[in-house]
């Protein structure tokens, strides 16, 4: 695959570390050896996985002559934080459309990412009810800006389209090279699966490079059948976008949906345990919406002997720790 033919901004300067988690593995009974890919350490205000996607998405926006970007997400969206951060870096205006997936959950005075939106100087925030057609809502903002003479570019939620997913095709290639350099054989990869760009990009990267490592996504917002279909379609479209002439096998897309209830962004005991356990064994912060629930899923799979004894399991840490500060009562309670 030739990713060099696609414009990118060069936000990812070097590979993110792959680290062994000895204390965390021991706390789970040493059934498997847990490794972590530290995409929480990517550049950008607060770090996180969306930087890889925005590397390509914002390059595409600039190529098209945009002076403004519009994107959407939930009220504590890490994607919105990072889109705004890289827009600031590039001298672009940034407008956000926030979806109240939990009714009355938006608080402009909240900590976490809400605070960072204001600190970085977001141009506008539009709050819409849960279930709103987000592309249409962003188009409304774009129409107003065009009438003012601006040139807006819409980035979908999570930058999860074939352009943004290229960031995780590149991550798949990066990971394979790191594992070779480390002499490390990984038996399974676990990824958070939400807007699908990270999960789909990793699958496309593995398939396109003939990397035969099983991968599972832990759903953070949808039933597994809906999520698997979303991931499958985006992964296939991403392969098509790159120019890889292959039909993606359905069995490459696996999602587990037992860990996100009572709903998107709502805390549950498994997430709380996972966040505390990783913090108290390895001093690594997860977020309460994506990586926390995904880690809870991986912990449960390990405890249920889903992986063979002694297997090497790699967890992709997508970041998002600034959102922790909007959940203080959850962890102090």
Residue 46: predicted pLDDT: 94
Which domain-ending residue is among 158, 193, 218? 158
Residue 102: predicted pLDDT: 85
Mean pLDDT of the chain: 96
Q: Read off the pLDDT of residues 192-214 as tens digits, 9 standing for 90 and up.
A: 999 999 999 999 999 999 999 99
Q: Do both 283 and 233 map to the same domain?
A: yes
Q: Do both 74 and 141 map to the same domain?
A: yes
Residue 231 to residue 237: CA distance in whole angstroms? 10
Residue 114: predicted pLDDT: 93
Confidence of residue 1 (pLDDT cuts 50, 70, 90): confident
Q: Do both 237 and 247 map to the same domain?
A: yes
Residue 104: predicted pLDDT: 85
Total domains present in the chain: 2
Residue 53 to residue 91: CA distance in whole angstroms? 18
For residues 110-120, give the mean pLDDT.
94
Q: Do both 252 and 147 map to the same domain?
A: no
Q: Read off the pLDDT of residues 251-281 as tens digits, 9 standing for 90 and up.
A: 999 999 999 999 998 999 999 999 999 999 9
Which domain-ending residue is among 113, 134, 158? 158
Residue 325: predicted pLDDT: 92
Q: What are the distances in angstroms from CA 11 to CA 14, 86, 128, 181, 307?
A: 9, 9, 31, 23, 35
Q: Do both 145 and 180 map to the same domain?
A: no
Confidence of residue 84 (pLDDT cuts 50, 70, 90): very high
Q: Do both 251 and 303 map to the same domain?
A: yes
Residue 299: predicted pLDDT: 98
Q: What are the distances in angstroms from CA 4 to CA 171, 295, 311?
A: 14, 33, 34
Q: Do both 90 and 202 map to the same domain?
A: no
Residue 71: predicted pLDDT: 98
- Fill in the DSSP letter of residue 170: H
Longest CA–CA span in the chain (Å) reads 62
Confidence of residue 286 (pLDDT cuts 50, 70, 90): very high
Q: Do both 254 and 120 map to the same domain?
A: no
Residue 103: predicted pLDDT: 86
Block residue for tokens 């889903």 = 306
Which domain-ending residue is among 125, 142, 158? 158
Residue 316 to residue 168: CA distance in whole angstroms? 11
Q: Do both 83 and 223 map to the same domain?
A: no
Confidence of residue 53 (pLDDT cuts 50, 70, 90): very high
Residues linked to residue 153 through DSSP beta bridges, in sequence order: 69
Confidence of residue 232 (pLDDT cuts 50, 70, 90): very high
Q: Do both 97 and 241 map to the same domain?
A: no
Residues across the chain? 333
What is the domain-level CATH number for residue 326? 3.40.50.1100
Q: Do both 36 and 54 map to the same domain?
A: no
List the catalytic residues. Answer: 77
Residue 31 to residue 22: CA distance in whole angstroms? 12
Q: Which domain holds residue 298?
A: 3-48+161-332
Q: Do both 167 and 88 map to the same domain?
A: no
- 8 Å CB contact between 258 and 300: yes
Residue 260: predicted pLDDT: 95
Block residue for tokens 């570390």 = 17
Residue 276 to residue 24: CA distance in whole angstroms? 11
């Amino acid at each position: 695959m030739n990713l060099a033919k696609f414009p990118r901004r060069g936000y990812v300067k070097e590979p993110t570390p792959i680290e062994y988690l000895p204390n965390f593995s021991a706390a789970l009974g040493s059934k498997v050896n847990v490794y972590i890919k530290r995409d929480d350490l990517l550049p950008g205000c607060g770090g996180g996985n969306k930087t890889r996607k925005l590397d390509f998405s914002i390059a595409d926006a600039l190529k098209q002559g945009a002076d403004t970007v519009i994107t959407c997400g939930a009220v504590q969206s890490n994607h919105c934080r990072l889109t705004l951060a890289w827009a600031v870096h590039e001298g672009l205006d940034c407008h956000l459309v926030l979806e109240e997936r939990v009714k009355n959950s938006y608080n402009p005075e909240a900590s976490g990412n809400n605070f960072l939106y204001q600190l970085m100087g977001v141009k506008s925030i539009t709050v819409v009810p849960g279930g709103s057609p987000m592309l249409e809502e962003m188009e409304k903002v774009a129409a107003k800006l065009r009438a003012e003479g601006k040139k807006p570019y819409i980035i979908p939620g999570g930058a999860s389209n074939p352009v943004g997913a290229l960031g995780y095709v590149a991550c798949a290639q990066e990971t394979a090279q790191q594992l070779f350099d480390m002499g490390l054989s990984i038996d399974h990869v676990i990824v958070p699966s939400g807007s699908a760009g990270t999960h789909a990009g990793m699958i496309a990267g593995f398939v396109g490079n003939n990397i035969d490592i099983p991968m599972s996504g832990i759903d953070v917002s949808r039933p597994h059948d809906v999520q698997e279909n979303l991931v499958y379609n985006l992964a296939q479209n991403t392969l098509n976008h790159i120019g890889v002439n292959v039909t993606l096998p359905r069995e490459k897309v696996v999602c587990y949906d037992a860990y996100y209830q009572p709903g998107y962004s709502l805390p549950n005991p498994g997430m709380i345990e996972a966040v505390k356990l990783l913090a108290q064994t390895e001093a690594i912060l997860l977020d309460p919406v994506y990586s926390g629930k995904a880690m809870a899923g991986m912990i449960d799979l390990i405890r249920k002997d889903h992986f063979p004894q002694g297997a090497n399991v790699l967890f992709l840490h997508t970041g998002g720790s600034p959102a922790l500060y909007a959940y203080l009562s959850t962890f102090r309670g």
